[in-house]
C-alpha cells in the first residue's frame, strides 16, 4: 500500500492509457486476423472443423467488439498499477535470468496458468448462479454462437473479476518478465481460438495426450450451447474432477474408430 502511494498519478494514468491501447490493438489485430482467416475466405480454403451453422451475424460481431473494447480498459487498470509497482521494485516479476533457476521459467508459466484456470473455473461456475448470471455473465452468453470477436466480450463486472487475478499473482509468485509477455499473448490467443466457431486443432491432437486435457474451441463452444458444462479456461482438469466435462460424447470425430472386422465377409 505504501508503494502504491508513491506512484505519481500522472505516470499511472499514462501507463493505464498506453496499456489500454496495447490490449485493444492486440485484440483487434488477433481477432481480426482469425475472423478473416476463418470466416472471410471461401470455406474450402479453411483447414479447420466448422462448429456452428451458418455465418456470424453482423449485430453479434458489433456487440462483441463493443464489450471487448470496454474490457480492454478494465484489464489495463490493475495491470498498470502492477507495472508501476514493478518499477519501484514492489512485485515478484524479475528480469535477471540468474535470479531463479532456468527450470523455474516453464514451471512458473504452468503455475500461473493452472492457478488462473482454477480461479476462472470457480468464479465462472459462481457466475452461473441465477442471481450473478443476470448481473455479470449474461453478456458473454449472448454470443450464441460466439465469433473470434467474443474474446473479451464480457460485462464490466465480469471483466473486473477476471482482470484482478493475474496482476495479484505477479505480486507474490516469482516470474520472469519474458514469461509474463508469453502468458499475456497466450491468454489472448486462447480467448480468440476458443470463441472462433472453428476447431483449428487437428483431430489427432484432440484425441492424443496432452491435447485431450486442454481446452480448445470444440470444448468451449459446447459451454455456449449448454451453460451447465465445460466451465474451464485452459485445462479440462477441474471440469473432469467436478463432473462438468463434456466433449467426446458430443463429437463424432472424437469417437475411437471401430477396429476393422475381418471374418466371413472380408471388406
Ligand atoms: Zn465463452
Ligand atoms: Zn459461462
CB count in 10 Å sphere of residue 265? 6
Ligand nearest to the CA of 215: 1
pLDDT recorded at residue 7: 82
Ligand nearest to the CA of 196: 1
Ligand 1 centre from 78 Cα, in Å?
22
Q: Each residue of 46-69: b (16+ CB within 10 Å) or e?
A: eeebebbeeebeeebbebbbebbb
Looking at the predicted structure, is the pLDDT value of residue 267 above 60?
no
User: Which of 81-85, 217-221, 251-255, 258-262 is the least confident region?
Assistant: 258-262
pLDDT recorded at residue 55: 81
pLDDT band at residue 248 using 50, 70 and 90 as cut-offs? confident
pLDDT recorded at residue 265: 58
Q: What sections of 145-176 are H helices per DSSP?
A: 156-172
Ligand nearest to the CA of 193: 1
Ligand nearest to the CA of 219: 1
Looking at the predicted structure, is the pLDDT value of residue 266 above 80?
no
Q: For 14-72, how does the pLDDT look when each residue is reduced to its tens digit (9 = 90+)? A: 999 999 999 999 999 999 999 999 988 888 888 888 887 778 888 889 999 999 999 99
Q: For 108-138, how does the pLDDT look when each residue is reduced to its tens digit (9 = 90+)? A: 999 999 999 999 999 999 999 999 999 999 9
Nearest CA to 173 out of 78, 88, 91, 79 is that of 91
Ligand nearest to the CA of 149: 1
pLDDT recorded at residue 261: 67
Ligand 1 centre from 221 Cα, in Å?
7
pLDDT recorded at residue 258: 65
Ligand 1 centre from 168 Cα, in Å?
23
Mean pLDDT computed over 213-218: 93
CB count in 10 Å sphere of residue 71? 24
- Per the listing, cell 465462472 goes with 124
Ligand 2 centre from 147 Cα, in Å?
15
Q: DSSP characters for 192-230?
A: HHHTSSEE-S-HHHHHSTTGGGB--HHHHHHHHH-TTS-
pLDDT recorded at residue 257: 66
pLDDT recorded at residue 9: 86
Looking at the predicted structure, is the pLDDT value of residue 252 above 90?
no
Ligand 1 centre from 98 Cα, in Å?
39
pLDDT recorded at residue 140: 93
pTM: predicted TM-score of the whole model, two decimal places? 0.90
Mean pLDDT computed over 213-240: 94
Q: For 160-184, how does the pLDDT look when each residue is reduced to its tens digit (9 = 90+)? A: 999 999 999 999 999 999 999 999 9
Task: Record the cell numbers describing residue 256, joined without a space.
Answer: 475411437
pLDDT band at residue 216 using 50, 70 and 90 as cut-offs? very high
Amino acid at each position: 500500500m505504501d508503494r502504491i502511494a508513491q506512484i505519481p498519478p500522472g505516470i499511472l494514468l499514462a501507463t493505464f492509457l498506453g496499456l489500454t491501447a496495447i490490449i485493444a490493438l492486440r485484440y483487434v489485430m488477433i481477432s481480426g486476423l482469425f475472423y478473416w482467416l476463418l470466416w472471410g475466405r471461401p470455406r474450402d480454403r479453411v483447414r479447420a472443423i466448422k462448429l456452428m451453422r451458418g455465418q456470424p451475424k453482423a449485430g453479434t460481431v458489433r456487440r462483441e467488439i463493443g464489450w471487448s473494447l470496454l474490457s480492454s480498459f478494465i484489464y489495463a487498470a490493475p495491470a498498470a498499477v502492477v507495472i508501476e509497482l514493478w518499477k519501484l521494485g514492489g512485485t515478484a516479476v524479475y528480469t535477471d535470468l540468474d535470479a531463479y533457476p532456468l527450470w523455474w521459467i516453464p514451471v512458473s508459466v504452468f503455475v500461473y496458468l493452472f492457478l488462473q484456470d482454477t480461479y476462472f473455473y470457480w468464479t465462472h461456475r459462481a457466475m452461473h448462479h441465477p442471481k450473478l448470471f443476470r448481473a455479470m455473465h449474461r453478456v458473454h452468453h449472448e454470443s450464441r454462437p460466439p465469433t473470434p470477436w467474443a474474446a473479451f466480450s464480457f460485462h464490466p463486472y465480469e471483466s473486473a473479476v477476471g482482470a484482478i487475478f493475474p496482476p495479484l499473482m505477479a505480486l507474490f509468485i516469482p516470474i520472469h518478465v519474458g514469461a509474463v509477455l508469453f502468458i499475456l499473448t497466450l491468454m489472448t490467443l486462447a480467448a480468440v481460438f476458443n470463441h472462433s466457431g472453428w476447431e483449428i486443432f487437428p483431430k489427432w491432437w484432440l484425441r492424443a495426450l496432452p491435447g485431450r486435457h486442454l481446452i480448445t474451441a470444440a470444448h468451449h463452444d459446447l459451454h455456449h450451447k449448454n451453460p451447465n458444462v465445460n466451465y474451464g479456461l485452459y485445462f479440462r482438469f477441474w471440469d473432469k474432477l467436478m463432473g462438468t466435462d463434456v466433449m467426446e460424447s458430443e463429437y463424432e470425430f472424437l469417437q475411437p474408430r471401430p477396429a476393422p472386422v475381418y471374418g466371413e465377409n472380408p471388406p
